[in-house]
Amino acid sequence: MTLSDKPRVLVVDDEPMNVELLQAYLSEDYEVLPAYNGHEALDIVFKELPDIVLLDVMMPDINGYQVCEKIKSSEITQFIPVVLVTALSGREDRLRGIESQADDFLTKPVDRLELKMRVKSLFRIKSLHDNVIMERDQAQNYLDVAAVMMLALDCSQNITLINKRGLEILGYGESEVIGKNLMEQFIPDSSRSEMEIHFLNSLNASGAGSTYYECPVITKNSEERMVNWYSKPLTDEGGKVIGVLFSGQDITIRKKAEEKLREQTHAMEASVDGMAILDEKGIYNYVNAAHARIFGYDNPRELIGKKWDLLYNPSQVSLFKSTILPEFKKKGKWQGELIGRRKDDSTFFQEISLTAFDKGLISVVRDISKRKEVESQLNDYAARLKSSNELKDLFTDILRHDLLNPAGVVKGFSDMLLNEEKDENKRYKIQLIDNNITRLIEMIESAAKFAKLEDMDKLEFKSMDIGPILSNVVKELKPQLSAKNITLDMRASGTYPAVINPLISGVFTNFISNAIKYGPSGSVVTVDIMDIGDEWKIMISDQGEGIPDMDKDLIFNRFQRLAEKKKAVKGSGLGLAIAKRIVELHGGGIGVEDNHSGKGSSFWATVKKA
Ligand code: ADP
């Protein structure tokens, strides 16, 4: 039927009067299309697809039977009912008509009522048929455009129907699939029994069909694709189960994506850095636990669906828009520092990197407020250190210039007075002044020297022989040696090239003068240099009281003087500390041990050989 309201009837007769008559009978209910020979009739049939054809049999050229056969042999027109209108009523003629697949017969002269009845009932059949076809086509369309694959199996698991999507997934043509056993041809061995259970369950309608299950299929190029299936029994009109209808969705890509996402999500979840995925509108699509935690949220879900600017103050948002975003758009990434805003509105420094992803971006955030805090503490400390160093420098200057000068003046006058004064009592008092001022000057000098050495972190070295340096020190200490009648036993007589700075002579001076100071009159001080591989070990031994083990380390510390010795001998208590610092700056070692060849101590220092 066409869109015209009335059904259309093609009336074919070579006698125009007959056409006119039938037209008169039918025109009230139908639109009549006239044709006056077989050819004209066929033209109209194929062009207009009328709803019914009334066909005269006896026509010249091609008769009604032939026209009818042509109509019935075309797929397009085969369902158009054809009524043969004939004057012939013999059995042979009827058989011929049936042979040509005519749907009905009318005998001339045509009875008006009979004509109307026949046409009406044929038209009803045609309409029903058209509806069936339309529904079938529609169903087929649905099947074909469906994103799911559809398979109908008969009771022996053979495929009786498959839609386009099914063929696409399997990679076969329809003829290669229809009639084939689904289980044997398209399901991998490992999943066959499982799929068969679903088939049997559906066939027996025992509840299956209500759940989805995953099972792979094998495609034409031997690839396995994972399909999410749903199956239900297929019944005929009488309700008898005649097979199983499977519908399946190809979830191979989804499966792989899920796997990937799971791996990535796992890595992202485990990260200590905050990670988030934002869409093109800046909405959080994914947020890991660390990201939520960094911003003070208990659960990532609190942030998903929210816009990014929730987590930043307006000043940061405008900074982002004005400077960061343009750069990000140009390069597809950005890295730097921002100030984030926590859920409780407190702020924190963060290191953030943004990378373009899909249409949005991935952001990785690290809370660096702790680092910033430590940095600022370090800065403060450095500043304090600097000012304390400045203070120390100031004291060193005061020591050297402001104290040493007046002390020197006092020393000068006390020496002068000592020379001039004859009165013993007064001389004794002047001598006390002189001794103490001498000690004061020594202390100031060594304190200034120590402060200077403390500040130094590097010395310049050159290759020098230690032998002459030691001899020189001994020469300078001659007066002290003879004052206490101490013999110096110099055992080092070779050459001892070492990587040293002239300051090293201070160490030897200290060791030897201490040995004299703390050694008894008339004793022997031994000087020796030993080869200990990469280094020279310079050792000064005396025959004094020795140093108890518990004090052996302490005496190298600043102002550490041993209690009993305090009164007997004078000293600043800084000499060994200075020596230690000088040796440290040389990268060498320093220490004291008991004098192995008898009473007393052996002080030693090591320096690198040249
Ligand atoms: P000072 O000799 O000016 O007091 P030192 O730093 O040179 O300062 O020595 C620290 C202390 O170590 C001395 O006061 C003394 O008690 C002890 N000491 C140093 N050398 C010897 C030594 N050869 N024998 C015994 N005691 C020593």
Computed over every residue of the chain, the mean pLDDT equals: 87
Structure tokens at 486: 């101490």
Same domain, 494 and 590: yes
Whether this prediction's pTM lies above 0.95 is answered by no
Is 569 a residue whose pLDDT tops 50?
no
Whether ligand 1 lies within 6 angstroms of the CB of 31 is answered as no
Residue 549: how many other CB atoms lie within 10 Å: 9
Final residue in a domain of this structure, among 363, 398, 414:
363
Q: How far is the CA of 561 from the centre of ligand 1 (A)?
A: 6
- CA separation, residue 583 to residues 355, 454, 468, 506 (Å): 55, 12, 18, 10
Minimal-distance CA residue to ligand 1 atom 12: 555
Structure confidence at residue 423 (pLDDT): 93
317 confidence band (pLDDT: 50, 70, 90): very high
Residues 206 and 314 in one domain: no
How crowded is residue 174: how many other Cβ atoms within 10 Å of its Cβ? 13
Identify the pLDDT of residue 212: 79
pLDDT in tens, 409-449: 888 888 889 999 899 999 999 998 998 888 888 888 887 88
Give the domain CATH number at 230: 3.30.450.20
pLDDT in tens, 347-361: 999 999 998 887 888
One domain for residues 36 and 134: yes
CATH of the domain at 103: 3.40.50.2300
User: Which pLDDT belongs to residue 562?
Assistant: 56
Instruction: Identify the pLDDT of residue 208.
Output: 44
Crossing angle of helices 505-518/575-585, nearest 10°? 150
Q: Is the CB of 601 under 6 A from ligand 1?
A: yes
Same domain (yes/no): 114, 159: no
Query: Do residues 485 and 599 share a domain?
Result: yes
Residues 474 and 582 in one domain: yes
565 lines ligand 1 (CB under 6 A): yes
| Element (DSSP H or E) covering residue 391 | helix 369-397
- Identify the pLDDT of residue 230: 85
Q: Whose CA is nearest to atom 13 of ligand 1?
A: 561
CATH code for the domain in which residue 599 is found = 3.30.565.10
Residue 204 covered by a domain: yes
Residue 201's pLDDT is: 86
In a domain, 261, yes or no: no
Closest ligand 1 atom to residue 562 Cα is 16
Is position 71 within any domain? yes
Nearest-CA residue for ligand 1 atom 9 is 573
Residue 74 to residue 104: CA distance in whole angstroms: 19
Same domain, yes or no: 424 and 473: no
For residue 567, report the distance from its CA to the centre of ligand 1, in Å: 12
Claim to verify: residue 252 and residue 338 sit in the same structural domain: no
Distance, in Å, from the CA atom of 187 to the CA atom of 105, rounded to the nearest integer, reads 54
Ranges of H-type helices in 148-270: 164-170, 174-177, 182-186, 189-203, 252-270
**What are residue 343's phi and psi, to 5 degrees?**
-60, -35
Highest mean pLDDT among 195-204, 416-425, 433-442, 527-536: 527-536
Domain count, the chain: 5
The residue-averaged pLDDT of 12-37 equals 92
Distance 573 CA to ligand 1 centre (A): 7
460 and 604, same domain (yes or no): yes
- The verdict on 249 and 178 lying in the same domain is yes
Q: Is the CB of 518 under 6 A from ligand 1?
A: yes
pLDDT-wise least confident of 7-16, 140-149, 239-248, 548-557? 140-149
Comparing C-alpha atoms, which of 538, 516, 551 is closest to residue 586?
A: 538
Per DSSP bridges, beta strands 333-341 and 104-107 are unpaired
Which mutation among 542, 543, 565 tests ligand 1's pocket best, with the greatest number of atoms within 8 A of CB? 565
Spatial distance between the Cα atoms of 394 and 388, rounded to a whole number of angstroms: 9
Is residue 26 domain-shared with residue 123, that is, in the same domain? yes
In sequence order, the β-bridge partners of residue 12 are 35, 55
Query: Helix crossing, 466-476 with 505-518: angle to 10°?
Result: 40
Is the shortest distance between the CB of 571 and ligand 1 below 6 Å?
yes
In a domain, 233, yes or no: yes
Is 265 contained in some domain?
A: no
State how beta strands 535-541 and 524-531 pair: antiparallel
Residue 555 Cβ < 6 Å to ligand 1: yes
Residue 112 has pLDDT above 90, yes or no: no
pLDDT above 60: residue 568? no
Give the residue from 397, 428, 454 where a domain finishes. 454
Question: Domain range for residue 29?
Answer: 8-141
Q: What average pLDDT does the segment 52-63 reach?
A: 91
Does residue 319 lie in a domain region?
yes
Residue 598: inside a domain, yes or no?
yes
Phi, then psi, of 405 in degrees rounded to 5: -60, -60
Nearest ligand 1 atom to the CA of 510 is 7
In a domain, 205, yes or no: yes
Q: Verify that 503 and 435 share a domain, yes or no.
A: no
Final residue in a domain of this structure, among 454, 472, 489: 454
